[in-house]
Structure 1
Amino acid sequence: MPNPATAATPAAPATPAPAAGASRFAELPASAAHDALRIEYRWLNEPAAQRADDTPLALFLHEGLGSVSMWRDWPQRLCERLGLRGLVYSRPGYGLSTPRAPHVKWPVDFMTEQARDILPALLDALGIDARQRRRMWVIGHSDGGSIALLYAALYPEALAGAVVMAPHVFVEDLSVASIAQTKQLYETTDLRDKLARHHADVDSAFYGWNDIWLNPAFRQWRIVDTLASIRQPLLAIQGHDDNYGTMAQIDTIAARVPHAQLVKLAACGHSPHRDAPAPLDDAIAAFIAAQR
């Protein structure tokens, strides 16, 4: 989910700019699951993208209105602390990736499609093989956290573990109310201009996300039963002041995934990496170090 207050911060550049390195593009050929796609991505701590590297990989999955540039420098800083190489990318419809056509509506199971089809296709295109995937840490925020959970459940042997920040596993009234408010802000304030700094087609990004979350059919969306398939280490993080979700989200994860570890952050809203970076980074560092 977006953080309107953060999105409105004037420190962002006029156009999407890399926090480290430059954006590149992966071409995903059309398949039975998706049309041909052009995906924006960046390597972090990667001396040569095409070179096999024994350093484990951290893969970052952005929020509902995120993109490569919306992460700013947090993935880079976390990778440096953890001694990992990193990969950030913009999902279709976001950043500089293939935009959503105006008439296209995301389906109710769009996050499952991202985890099941798009992410593995991107990993294939970038030459990230099975050995590297088994050592890959998947780190997701908000919708990206849900996609990380789905990937961990669908491909339980194709990752080292997952970290999810403010994930959604079912739809809460609080989420829908906040998303409706964000739509009003987008259409009546300068939020659209602020988000346009991070998306080549800002309406593609915003309405793709907003329309599906406000679709009455989406109220029935839930991935709770899928979680039991998660086998690898899992850390779930939630802020006490999140206006897009409650502690019920990660408590539900713990009920379905007994080995999951939970972190509940005080004085933290929906974006832990912006609201509480120090305790967040400490929690992630301790969690990953314990698995090595």
Structure 2
Amino acid sequence: MLILPSRRQFLTGLGAGAGLMAATGVYAFDVEPLHRLVVTPYAPDLPNWDPALTLRVAVLADFHVCEPFMPFDRVAEIVDATNALKPDLILMLGDYPAGRIAWRKLPLTDFARIVEGLKAPLGTHAILGNHDWWDDAGVQLSGRGTPAVKRILEARGIPVLENQAVRLVKDGRPFWIAGLADQQPFQKMWEWVSFADVPRTLAAVTDSAPVILMAHEPDIFRELPDRVALTLSGHTHGGQVRLFGRSPAIRKVHGRDYSYGHVVQDGRHMIVSGGFGMSRIPVRFGVPPEIVLLELGSSETAGTGT
């Protein structure tokens, strides 16, 4: 016998469901993106890494500064939390302005002044992302040039690598930081124009020391050679919404999910950060803003990448 709910039971259930949806909306719109900040550790066992080189790296991606979703006090909070981790090196993976979701855009000169406060013995190095191009009206109108944010960051002592590599040394052990130019700076007809040049970038590497490569969009990972010990990417925000470990918003790249986390393909390693900010829609759910913390070459934690 089918027993139907009473009118009171139906209305109570309906109210509870509406309340749950409202609470979920508040969490995704306000709590997770604006008030949560996590540190996500990785200690990948890299086949092309010098085991005598121990390196602690903080990775920051996709700030998307704007009001109300990434105000300057939030940026300062991220800077303080990063410094508290005492990294040897800090890497910034692009997308500093917010794009269309911004209720009010904020000056990148002030953003650069705040991130100048990042402290690491081996410095802070950066690359550009697609929004650094898209949000710069001057380069979009002319179809050429360099986004102003590159000059702004470099004026604060943060080098921005575009198809370049720099050699660093920690405790007498050398390694390279390489940075690709963006893969989606302009759209021509229905195709993206990419400025990323892998051969040129790796041609700047002049010895056998390990290479960490920064590439804003993770799509290029499948094209990278074994010479790269570790690729670091952002761009996806982890899909911004993740349910049961998956994001409905992310397309696969040749059958591979490059949306978030530690990806191993053909023995090569990539870590994709969920970053801090948002684009397209101002919500995050199931992928809280994160500082990625790498422990490389540590015998105590090698092979425990998450």
TM-score normalised according to structure 1 size = 0.33
Name the structure where helix makes up a greater proportion of residues: 1
Name the structure where strand makes up a greater proportion of residues: 2
TM-score normalised according to structure 2 size = 0.32
Q: Which has the higher contact order (CA 8 A, sep 6+)?
A: 2
